[in-house]
């Protein structure tokens, strides 16, 4: 008897599940029919109403397809601003960041006094940020994002988005500094010490806030020392002296507790001894 009850309950549950699937299918079918009718409807007003309805539901695929059909017809009307902005938001929701960024920029340029102008300019920069690749890859969008965030900050210095902009700028600059650091260290690892010194000095100057700053400053010291060691005798004295200057600069910037200070002092002693030896030899 108990088994029969369990069987009956299973049958009822299955029927309920099947009826639920049928109901959902019918609803979706009805929505699809409404959408298809809207697409074919010659009345742009109906398409705009349907597009707005889908937009509110965050059905961005259907909303954007309807907005695209009517944007030209409404281009010179008061509805153009809303259509362009909503279209940009649709593409943003669909993660089409390059396209949505372009549309947000277009919105700001066409409607600088529009109700969404500030947000549009911010989202233009944010889209470029989202398009930015990892440090190992091309950084064109990183530079673009930095530029657009700076433009936004200049235009809206008191915006509620300023803190976010500064956070993203720090992240983007860190990405550029890490890429530059990897390139400079590659020169060092390959024994191209002259190129390494130039690259390391550049990133130390351009990215003083970088996480690898202390290591970079030490590598400048070590690159100078290794360059001097591997130079022809005529250039060694000058290059060992450059090493000592780099050691002095390092000691001025960091305390005795620096993890590189011990080795830097050893390099300084070796450089002084090398200079004396070379001068006595000459």
Full DSSP string of 108-147: HHH-TTSTTHHHHHHHHHHHHHHHPPPTTS--HHHHHHHH
Confidence of residue 155 (pLDDT cuts 50, 70, 90): very high
In the predicted structure, residue 12 carries a pLDDT above the cut 70: no
pLDDT at 282: 63
Lowest mean pLDDT among 19-23, 68-72, 269-273: 19-23
CA gap 169, 150 in Å, rounded:
8
Mean pLDDT of all residues in 172-198: 93
Give the best-scoring range by mean pLDDT among 73-77, 156-160, 173-177, 230-234. Answer: 156-160
Q: Record the pTM.
A: 0.75
CA gap 201, 228 in Å, rounded:
17
Chain segment 210-226, per-residue pLDDT in tens: 889 999 999 999 999 99
The tokens 């069987």 sit on which residue? Answer: 7
**Virtual torsion, Cα 231, 234, 237, 238, nearest 10 deg:** -90
CA gap 124, 147 in Å, rounded:
11
User: Which contacts (CB < 8 Å, 24+ apart) does range 241-244 have?
Assistant: 241/271, 241/275, 243/267, 243/268, 243/271, 244/268, 244/271, 244/272, 244/275
Considering only residues 76 and 225, tell me which one the structure prediction assigns the higher pLDDT: 225
- CB 65, CB 91: distance < 8 Å: no
Lowest mean pLDDT among 14-23, 213-222, 269-278: 14-23
Tokens read off for 122: 């911010």
CA gap 175, 168 in Å, rounded:
11
Confidence of residue 204 (pLDDT cuts 50, 70, 90): very high
Question: Mean of the per-residue pLDDT values for the chain?
Answer: 85
User: Which contacts (CB < 8 Å, 24+ apart) does range 78-84 have?
Assistant: 79/48, 81/107, 81/110, 81/111, 81/114, 81/116, 83/48, 83/51, 84/110, 84/111
In the predicted structure, residue 164 carries a pLDDT above the cut 90: yes
Percent of the chain whose predicted confidence (pLDDT) is above 70: 85
**CA proximity to 263, closest of 228, 231, 217, 230:** 217
Confidence of residue 149 (pLDDT cuts 50, 70, 90): very high
CA gap 139, 128 in Å, rounded:
11
Lowest mean pLDDT among 105-114, 136-145, 161-170, 210-219: 136-145
- CB 84, CB 107: distance < 8 Å: yes
Confidence of residue 169 (pLDDT cuts 50, 70, 90): very high
Kindly provide the residue ranges of all beta strands, DSSP E only, lying in the chain, ordered along the sequence: none
Helix (H) or strand (E) holding 214: helix 213-229
Confidence of residue 8 (pLDDT cuts 50, 70, 90): very low
pLDDT at 215: 94
pLDDT at 167: 96
pLDDT at 258: 87
Tokens read off for 209: 């806030």
Give the best-scoring range by mean pLDDT among 68-72, 120-124, 208-212. Answer: 120-124
CA distance readout (Å), 182 to 59, 176, 179, 220, 224: 43, 10, 5, 14, 18
Q: Which residues contact 270 (CB under 8 A, 6 or more apart)?
A: 225
Confidence of residue 24 (pLDDT cuts 50, 70, 90): very low
């Amino acid at each position: 008897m108990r088994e029969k009850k369990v069987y009956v309950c299973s049958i009822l549950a299955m029927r309920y599940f099947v009826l639920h699937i049928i109901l959902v299918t019918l609803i979706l079918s009805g929505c699809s029919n409404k959408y298809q009718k809207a697409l074919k409807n010659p009345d742009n007003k109906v398409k705009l109403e349907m597009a707005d309805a889908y937009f509110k539901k965050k059905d961005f695929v259907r909303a954007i397809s309807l907005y695209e059909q009517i944007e030209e017809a409404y281009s010179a009307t008061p509805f153009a601003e809303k259509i362009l902005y909503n279209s940009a938001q649709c593409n943003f929701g669909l993660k089409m960041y390059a396209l949505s960024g372009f549309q947000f920029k277009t919105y700001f340029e066409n409607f600088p006094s529009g109700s969404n102008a500030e947000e549009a300019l911010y989202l233009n920069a944010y889209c470029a940020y989202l398009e930015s690749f990892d440090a190992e890859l091309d950084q064109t969008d990183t530079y673009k994002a930095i530029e657009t965030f700076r433009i936004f900050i200049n235009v809206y210095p008191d915006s509620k988005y300023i803190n976010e902009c500064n956070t993203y700028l720090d992240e983007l600059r860190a990405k550029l500094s890490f890429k530059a650091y990897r390139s400079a260290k590659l020169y060092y690892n390959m024994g191209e010490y002259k190129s390494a010194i130039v690259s390391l000095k550049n990133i130390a100057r351009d990215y003083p806030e970088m996480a690898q700053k202390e290591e970079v400053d030490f590598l400048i010291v070590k690159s100078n020392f290794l360059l001097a060691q591997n130079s022809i005798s005529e250039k060694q004295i000058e290059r060992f002296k450059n090493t000592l200057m780099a050691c002095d600069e390092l000691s001025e910037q960091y305390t005795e507790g620096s993890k590189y200070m011990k080795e830097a002092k050893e390099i300084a002693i070796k450089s002084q001894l090398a200079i004396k030896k070379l001068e006595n030899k000459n």
